[in-house]
C-alpha cells in the first residue's frame, strides 16, 4: 500500500515529532492514506491508530520509524 499523503507530510512531523503524541497529530500523519478514513469524522476510531499512539508514547515507535516503513 502506498502512503503518498504520509510521505508528503513527513518533513513537518520529523521536525516536530511531538505532534504525533497528540491524537489529532497522529491522525493527520497516518490516517489520510487509509481507504476507511473520512475527513469529516472527528472521532475517528481505529485499532491501528490506538496501537501506534500507545507505542509512540512508550517510546517503542518513532516518527522516523513510521516514515521509514512508509517508504518501503
Residues 14-26: tens digit of each pLDDT: 999 999 999 899 9
Provide the domain limits for residue 64: 4-71
Question: pLDDT per residue over 30-70, tens digit each?
Answer: 999 998 888 887 677 889 999 999 999 999 999 999 999 99
Of 71, 70, 51, give the one whose Cα is nearest residue 61: 51
Dihedral sign, Cα of residue 43, residue 46, residue 50, residue 55: negative
- The structure's pTM equals 0.85
Residue for grid cell 500500500: 1
The Cβ of residue 37 has, within 10 Å, a number of other Cβ atoms equal to 15
What confidence score (pLDDT) does residue 13 get? Answer: 95
Asked whether residue 28 carries a pLDDT value surpassing 90, the answer given is yes
Structurally, how many domains does the chain consist of? 1
Contacts of residue 16, Cβ cutoff 8 Å, sequence gap at least 6: none
Amino acid at each position: 500500500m502506498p502512503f503518498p499523503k504520509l510521505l508528503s507530510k513527513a518533513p513537518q512531523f520529523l521536525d516536530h515529532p511531538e505532534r504525533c503524541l497528540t491524537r489529532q497529530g497522529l491522525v493527520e500523519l497516518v490516517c489520510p492514506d487509509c481507504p476507511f478514513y473520512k475527513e469529516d469524522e472527528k472521532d475517528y476510531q481505529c485499532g491501528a491508530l490506538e496501537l501506534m499512539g500507545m507505542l509512540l508514547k512508550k517510546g517503542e515507535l518513532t516518527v522516523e520509524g513510521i516514515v521509514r516503513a512508509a517508504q518501503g
